[in-house]
């Protein structure tokens, strides 16, 4: 994986043509428009600079994945940058390449003075991409109806944003956002934080691999922070349509009994109310007295009609 240079223009054009063919709703150019660009045009699109960085992943000499970071030029907008053109050739998907590219872009973005926000758009039906972006800290901030036209069909886009300085994110929230100086953020924890919170809160431990792979499938997540430390979390996983499961409701012992579990569940309940379609089945496993918390948000015992069953892989 490396920054693309002007000499990579030919390879970049080829993978952009592949993207336009494979995912026409996810790219703003069609194949004819990309093919019509000169190599000089493409060189200007990928040459690294103070406000542009295009990363590529290679298998030998073959460019197999790309992602672009472009900063706004105007003085009033240069605190923001756009993530664009994230694409992996089908044969190379499922190997974590796109996530490596996203992390590389975020690290590059942090080196640009004054840059605070990263923004992107993902078409509303691309749940795999949305999950990837959530796992990298992006949160949904809006929806653009009929954003892209493909033939006679229109596709909505979800708008997502990520503040690249997490401390600055906390500073934007009122000190009493959750009461007592706690802040509630819509964000996915990193694997290390996730594992620590689970074990410290008395939940079953997870390996690094299990955490990393599982977090990539997050539909929605919230974190509770206090003094720069993440002290609570909750997630929703599922297929994004028929089935949702509430998992990982965890608060560090020293912060329990302060209503933070309710704040986490209220945020999750709001997400389910907004996003889950009619007939969706929303489930969870309640440990001990936690059932009383969950019952406040509409959850009921399934027994005797059905009984929860589980298996833990050792």
Q: What is the pLDDT of residues 182-240, one digit of tens each?
A: 888 888 889 999 999 999 999 999 999 999 989 988 888 999 998 889 999 999 999 88
- Indicate the pLDDT class of residue 169, thresholds 50, 70 and 90: very low
Least confident of 51-60, 246-255, 266-275: 266-275
Residue pLDDT, tens place only, 17-34: 999 999 887 777 888 999
Quote the CA–CA distance of 41 and 264 in Å, as a whole number.
48
Structure tokens that stand for 256 in this block:
């329990």
Q: Where are the domains of the chain?
A: 2-163, 175-295
Which pLDDT score, from 0 to 100, does residue 180 have? 63
- Fold of the domain built from segment(s) 175-295: Aminopeptidase (3.40.630)
Residue pLDDT, tens place only, 5-18: 999 999 999 999 99
Angle, alpha carbons 22-27-28 (nearest 5°): 140
Least confident of 66-75, 134-143, 267-276: 134-143
Write the DSSP symbol of residue 313: -
Angle, alpha carbons 111-113-114 (nearest 5°): 130
Structure tokens that stand for 71 in this block:
């900063």
Q: Is residue 43 scored above 90 in pLDDT?
A: yes
Instruction: State how far Cα 281 lies from the chain centre.
Output: 23
Which pLDDT score, from 0 to 100, does residue 81 have? 95
CATH architecture, range 2-163: 3-Layer(aba) Sandwich (3.40)
Same fold, 2-163 and 175-295: yes
Buried b (16+ CB within 10 A) or exposed e, 205-226: ebeeeebbebbbbbbbbbbbbb
Closest CA to 42 of 33, 50, 51: 33
Q: Is residue 162 scored above 90 in pLDDT?
A: no
Taking the C-alpha atoms of 112, 115, 116 and 118 in order, what is their torsion angle to the nearest 10 degrees?
-80
Mean pLDDT for the chain overall: 88
Structure tokens that stand for 313 in this block:
């892989």
Which pLDDT score, from 0 to 100, does residue 176 have? 34
Q: Is residue 171 scored above 90 in pLDDT?
A: no
Residue pLDDT, tens place only, 104-137: 898 899 899 999 999 999 988 788 888 888 878 7
Which pLDDT score, from 0 to 100, does residue 301 have? 92
Least confident of 136-150, 172-186, 263-277: 172-186
Residue count of the chain: 314
- Indicate the pLDDT class of residue 170, thresholds 50, 70 and 90: very low
Which pLDDT score, from 0 to 100, does residue 165 have? 62
User: What SS3 class is residue 225?
Assistant: strand
- Indicate the pLDDT class of residue 148, thresholds 50, 70 and 90: confident
- Indicate the pLDDT class of residue 177, thresholds 50, 70 and 90: very low
Mean pLDDT of 61-80: 93
- Indicate the pLDDT class of residue 270, thresholds 50, 70 and 90: confident
Which pLDDT score, from 0 to 100, does residue 179 have? 54
- Give yes or no for a contact between 257 and 247, defined as CB atoms under 8 angstroms apart: no
Mean pLDDT of 294-300: 91
Which pLDDT score, from 0 to 100, does residue 187 have? 84
Which pLDDT score, from 0 to 100, does residue 184 have? 86
User: What SS3 class is residue 218?
Assistant: coil
Quote the CA–CA distance of 182 and 45 in Å, as a whole number.
43
Angle, alpha carbons 218-223-70 (nearest 5°): 70
Q: Is residue 173 scored above 50 in pLDDT?
A: no
DSSP code per residue over 168-182: HHHHHS-TTSSSTT-
């Amino acid at each position: 994986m490396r920054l693309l240079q002007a000499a990579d223009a030919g390879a970049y054009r080829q993978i952009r043509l592949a993207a336009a063919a494979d995912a026409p709703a996810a790219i703003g150019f069609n194949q004819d428009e990309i093919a019509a660009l000169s190599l000089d045009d493409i060189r200007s699109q990928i040459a690294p600079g103070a406000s542009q960085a295009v990363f590529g992943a290679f298998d030998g000499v073959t460019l197999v994945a790309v992602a672009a970071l472009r900063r706004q030029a105007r003085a009033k907008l240069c605190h923001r940058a756009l993530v664009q053109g994230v694409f992996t050739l089908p044969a190379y998907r499922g190997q974590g390449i796109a996530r490596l590219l996203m992390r590389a872009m975020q690290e590059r973005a942090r080196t640009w003075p004054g840059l605070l926000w990263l923004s992107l758009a993902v078409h509303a039906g691309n749940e795999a991409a949305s999950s990837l972006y959530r796992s990298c800290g992006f949160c949904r901030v809006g929806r653009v109806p009929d954003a892209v036209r493909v033939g006679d069909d229109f596709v909505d886009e979800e708008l997502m944003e990520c503040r690249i300085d997490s401390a600055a994110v906390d500073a934007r929230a009122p000190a009493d956002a959750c009461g007592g100086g706690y802040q509630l953020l819509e964000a996915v924890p990193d694997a290390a934080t996730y594992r620590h919170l689970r074990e410290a809160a008395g939940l079953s431990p997870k390996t690094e691999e299990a955490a990393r792979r599982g977090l990539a499938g997050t539909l929605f997540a919230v974190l509770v922070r206090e003094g720069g430390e993440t002290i609570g979390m909750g997630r929703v996983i599922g297929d994004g349509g028929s089935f949702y499961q509430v998992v990982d409701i965890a608060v560090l012992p020293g912060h329990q009994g302060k209503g933070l579990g309710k704040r986490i569940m209220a945020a999750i309940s709001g997400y389910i109310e907004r996003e889950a379609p009619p007939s969706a089945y929303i489930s969870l496993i309640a440990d001990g007295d936690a059932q009383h918390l969950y019952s406040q948000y509409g959850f009921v015992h399934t027994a005797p009609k059905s009984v929860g069953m589980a298996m833990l892989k050792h």
